[in-house]
Amino acid sequence: ALAKEVQATPDPRELDAIMSTGEQVTTGLLSMALMDIGCKAKSYTGGQVKVLTDSTHTKARILSIDEANMRRDLDSGHVVVVAGFQGVDEHGNITTLGRGGSDTSGVALAAALKADECQIYTDVDGVYTTDPRVVPEAKKLDTITFEEMLEMASLGSKVLQIRSVEFAGKYKVKSSFQDEGEGTLITVEEDKNMEQPIISGIAFNRDEAKLTLSGVPDTPGIAYQILGTIADANIDVDMIIQNVGHDGTTDFSFTVNRGDFAKAQAILETVKTKLGAREIAGDNKICKVSAVGVGMRSHPGVASKMFKALADEGINIQMISTSEIKISVVIDEKRQGHVAEWSKAHPC
């Protein structure tokens, strides 16, 4: 907010320099607190432990980590406190990892050190079948597979950031708000218990927006022409639908993060004439609802049951995306509450 008071559209490099300071203050204070109770401790910034990232400011990706400094201090009995959410690029510029970047930092550091386990402390005591803030009756999972967790993280589950799951080998999610509790163990192996539910969880994501180009020429390469301009702006695209018309044109829809909605829409407006699009429409009032579970592999008909349940509630499906272990639909965000109520009556 302060940056926007100085510059309407803050420079990404300078914004990273500002945003990284909060974590650095915290690490210094924590190290001093540890020293005060008799622990040897050292704090480091992401740059000091050589967390090397690409140069995409505000949402950089980790390329490598030099763990030598950390290992030296750990071997000498120090508690190493590293500022999360940040690194440096090849030119020494401070970069930040984007939303959930502290999870990513923690798991990446554990992977670099070949740690046996990485414990993530969050505001819930594990991974739930759905968001317990939306559905209080949601059940905590004792175990979940990496595949399921990766899908849930990508679909809006806020327990772990998706890139932290990608880094992981084996770790446990625990709560920082409870002294005791087993959390949720995330493992490579699928639980062989035959009584496990087909669907492990339902994720709600209201952080997406939809863009549609109507009347685009139905020619080879049109998808690349549309999405290439979006990719050049470092905007991630999620769901994609292309409808073929009868007059040689197509309607092309895709979703982006809601924070990138205005930027993506502005980009499309600049290439509208070049693409030959008749109209560009946007909707940032959508919700993506996703069912996830490895049990779907061996149980056909899950999608049809999900679609029937939505139809019975009078909920229109705008977009559909599936994989081997998940089904996602886009609906009007005003209907999220109806889906939540339905999930209470039909728990996973």
Average pLDDT, the chain: 84
Residues 6+ apart with CB under 8 A from 1: none
Residues 6+ apart with CB under 8 A from 220: none
Out of 146-160, 161-175, 312-326, the most confident range is 312-326
**Does residue 250 fall inside a structural domain?**
no
Q: For residue 53, give the CATH number of its domain.
A: 3.40.1160.10
What is the structure's pLDDT at 247?
84
DSSP state of 22: H
**Does residue 159 fall inside a structural domain?**
no
Rounded alpha-carbon distances, angstroms, from residue 115 to 133, 157, 186 = 32, 25, 15
Summarised one tens digit per residue, pLDDT across range 86-110 is 999 999 999 999 877 888 898 889 8
Q: What CA–CA distance (Å, rounded) separates 137 from 119?
A: 25
Q: Is the pTM of this model over 0.75?
A: no
**Does residue 305 fall inside a structural domain?**
no
Summarised one tens digit per residue, pLDDT across range 144-163 is 777 777 667 655 555 555 55
How many distinct structural domains can be found in the chain? 1
Residue with tokens 């030119």: 91
**Does residue 31 fall inside a structural domain?**
yes
**Does residue 174 fall inside a structural domain?**
no
Confidence of residue 175 (pLDDT cuts 50, 70, 90): very low
**Does residue 157 fall inside a structural domain?**
no
**Does residue 267 fall inside a structural domain?**
no
Cβ atoms of residues 59 and 75 within 8 Å = no
**Does residue 271 fall inside a structural domain?**
no
Q: What is the sign of the dihedral through the CA atoms of 18, 20, 24 and 26?
A: positive
- Domain coverage including residue 31: 1-115
Residue with tokens 């990485």: 118
